[in-house]
């Protein structure tokens, strides 16, 4: 039985809805000028040289939810080594929730159509976010390889879609094949607590709560064969699901 804090699952009151509206307003009031400013700076300075600004934006965006944030990082995560940070997919705030957990410059992966979203999509395109095009797996690997060649890490959500029940869905294997092909180690990255703040399919944002980002020990991919990829994906899934199930007070699945 789920042990999530009772306030997250009770029907929303008028006060809840008013607080949610306030949080959305504050969040947008932070997002629009910050992303616009970062785009302006990006016209003359590459994003890799303005990391402090990106981290300020991410920290502020999470703070606008009213949540308390912390990161728990395995000591084996080397700040100078590029990784694939493979995270569970919770809500629209996943990128800002996970970004500051480690000092790595992390390049994201987005569906190409998302670049048409005003402000957010424009910013992601300018920042160099990797575009996913249907049926273009080779292009995706080339873009990942180019970012890794620059010393950048990759932040991705291999479930492919946001959870609807708080649990971790099966992971798509495409990114794991790319990591294996490139010898890119994988850091299983789990977010807990953010599902209680904002859920996919709902516009209600609930203030407060503890949000934690776990970055577990890196998993090497060098030397693995194609036949090893399904087990690799299952291993990462097991780590993510174990963290989420423990947060929910459930037995591991």
- What pLDDT digit, counting tens, does each position of 151-167 carry? 999 999 999 999 999 99
Which tens digit of pLDDT belongs to each residue from 218-244? 999 999 999 999 999 999 999 999 999
Residue 185 belongs to domain with CATH number: 3.40.1130
Interstrand relation of 84-87 and 186-192 (parallel, antiparallel or unpaired): parallel
Q: Which domain holds residue 44?
A: 12-248
Query: Is the pLDDT at 253 greater than 70, yes or no?
Result: no
Q: Where are the alpha helices (H) located in 86-228, listed in sequence order?
A: 94-99, 120-127, 137-149, 174-182
Q: Where are the alpha helices (H) located in 70-136, listed in sequence order?
A: 94-99, 120-127
In 30-151, beta strands by DSSP E: 68-73, 84-87, 106-111, 130-132
Q: CB of 167 within 8 A of CB of 253? A: yes
Phi, psi angle pair for 219, to nearest 5°: -115, 120
Query: Is the pLDDT at 251 greater than 60, yes or no?
Result: no
In a domain, 133, yes or no: yes
Residue 2 is predicted with a pLDDT of 44
In a domain, 7, yes or no: no
- Say what angle helices 229-248 and 174-182 make with each other, to 10 degrees: 120
Residue 151 in 3-state DSSP? coil
Domain count, the chain: 1
In a domain, 90, yes or no: yes
Which tens digit of pLDDT belongs to each residue from 198-207? 999 888 999 8
Closest CA to 92 of 167, 169, 204: 204
Q: CB of 96 within 8 A of CB of 61? A: yes
Which tens digit of pLDDT belongs to each residue from 33-71? 999 999 999 889 988 888 999 999 999 999 999 999 999
Residues 136-162, mean pLDDT to the nearest whole number: 91
In a domain, 2, yes or no: no
Query: Is the pLDDT at 115 greater than 90, yes or no?
Result: no
In a domain, 63, yes or no: yes
In a domain, 1, yes or no: no
In a domain, 253, yes or no: no
Distance between CA 235 and CA 187 in Å, rounded? 11
Q: CB of 228 within 8 A of CB of 183? A: no
Distance between CA 193 and CA 42 in Å, rounded? 32
In a domain, 79, yes or no: yes
∠86-90-94 over CA atoms, to 5°?
A: 65
| C-alpha distances in Å from residue 66, one per residue of 119, 125, 197, 203, 207 | 23, 28, 9, 16, 5
This prediction's pTM: 0.91
Residues 109-134, mean pLDDT to the nearest whole number: 83
């Amino acid at each position: 039985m789920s042990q999530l804090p009772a306030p997250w699952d009770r029907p929303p009151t008028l006060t809840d809805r008013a607080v949610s509206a306030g949080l959305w307003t504050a969040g947008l009031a932070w997002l629009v000028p910050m992303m616009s400013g970062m785009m302006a700076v990006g016209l003359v300075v590459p994003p890799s040289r303005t990391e402090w600004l990106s981290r300020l934006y991410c920290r502020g965006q999470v703070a606008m939810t009213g949540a308390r944030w912390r990161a728990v990082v395995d000591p084996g995560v080397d700040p100078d080594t590029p990784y694939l940070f493979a995270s569970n997919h919770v809500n629209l705030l996943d990128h800002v929730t996970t970004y500051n957990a480690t000092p790595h410059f992390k390049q994201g992966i987005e569906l190409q159509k998302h670049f048409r979203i005003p402000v957010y999509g424009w910013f992601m395109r300018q920042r160099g976010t990797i575009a996913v095009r249907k049926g273009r797996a080779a292009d995706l690997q080339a873009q990942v390889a180019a970012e890794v060649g620059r010393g950048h890490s990759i932040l991705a959500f291999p479930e492919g879609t946001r959870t609807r029940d708080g649990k971790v869905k099966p992971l798509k294997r495409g990114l794991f094949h790319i990591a294996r092909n490139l010898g890119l180690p994988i850091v299983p990255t789990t977010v807990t607590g953010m599902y209680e703040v904002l859920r996919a399919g709902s516009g209600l944002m609930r203030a407060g709560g503890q949000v934690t980002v776990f970055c577990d020990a890196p998993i090497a991919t060098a030397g693995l064969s194609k036949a090893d990829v399904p087990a690799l994906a299952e291993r990462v899934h097991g780590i993510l699901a174990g963290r989420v199930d423990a947060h929910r007070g459930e037995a591991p699945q």
